[in-house]
Amino acid sequence: MAIIYSYPRVTTLNNSDLLIATRFENEDNGTARNITFTADALLDYVSSNYAPTLNQVLTAGNVSLLDASIGSLYLYNPHAPSGNGYVSITGDKNRINFFDNEGVDLGYIAQDTLRLDDLSTAFSFQIKKPSVLTNNRTATFQDASGTVAYLSDIPETINYGLFAQTGNSTIITGTTAESTLINGGEGSLIIPANSFNVGDSFKAVFGGVMNAANNQTIRIRVKAGSVVLLDSGVQTLTNSIISDIWSLNVDFTIRQLGAAGVASIVTLATFHYTKTNNATVEGFAFNNINNTTFDTTVSNTLDVTVQWGSTNASNSIYSDIFILNKIY
**Could you tell me if 202 and 312 lie in one domain?**
yes
| Contact residues for 20 (Cβ-Cβ < 8 A; gap 6+) | 2, 3, 4, 6, 34, 35, 36
pLDDT confidence of residue 312: 95
**Could you tell me if 201 and 290 lie in one domain?**
yes
**Could you tell me if 121 and 218 lie in one domain?**
no
pLDDT tens digits, 91-129: 887 889 998 888 888 899 988 888 988 877 878 888 887
d(CA 92, CA 181): 57
The residues that bridge with 287 in the sheet, in sequence order, are: 268
Mean pLDDT, the chain, rounded, equals: 83
**Could you tell me if 42 and 175 lie in one domain?**
no
| Contact residues for 130 (Cβ-Cβ < 8 A; gap 6+) | 139
pLDDT confidence of residue 40: 80
Has residue 143 been placed in a domain? no
Task: Give how far Cα 141 sits from Cα of 144, 145, 243, Å.
Answer: 9, 11, 43
pLDDT confidence of residue 138: 67
**Could you tell me if 168 and 316 lie in one domain?**
yes
The low-confidence residues of the chain, meaning pLDDT below 70, are: 1-11, 23-33, 51, 54, 58, 60-67, 83, 130-159
pLDDT tens digits, 226-268: 999 999 999 999 888 999 999 999 999 999 999 999 999 999 9
CB 164 within 8 A of CB 185: yes
d(CA 251, CA 43): 78
pTM exceeding 0.75: no
**Could you tell me if 171 and 300 lie in one domain?**
yes
- Find, among 297, 328, 300, 259, the residue nearest to 136 by Cα: 297
- Domain extent, residue 107, equals 69-128
Has residue 278 been placed in a domain? yes
pLDDT confidence of residue 120: 79
**Could you tell me if 182 and 241 lie in one domain?**
yes
pLDDT confidence of residue 129: 74
Has residue 139 been placed in a domain? no
d(CA 248, CA 232): 12
**Could you tell me if 285 and 308 lie in one domain?**
yes
pLDDT confidence of residue 134: 64
**Could you tell me if 180 and 289 lie in one domain?**
yes
**Could you tell me if 186 and 309 lie in one domain?**
yes
**Could you tell me if 208 and 306 lie in one domain?**
yes
**Could you tell me if 122 and 33 lie in one domain?**
no
Number of domains present in the structure of the chain: 3
Q: Count CA within 13 A, CB hemisphere, residue 230.
A: 25
Task: Give how far Cα 132 sits from Cα of 137, 197, 200, 305, 327, Å.
Answer: 11, 11, 15, 37, 20
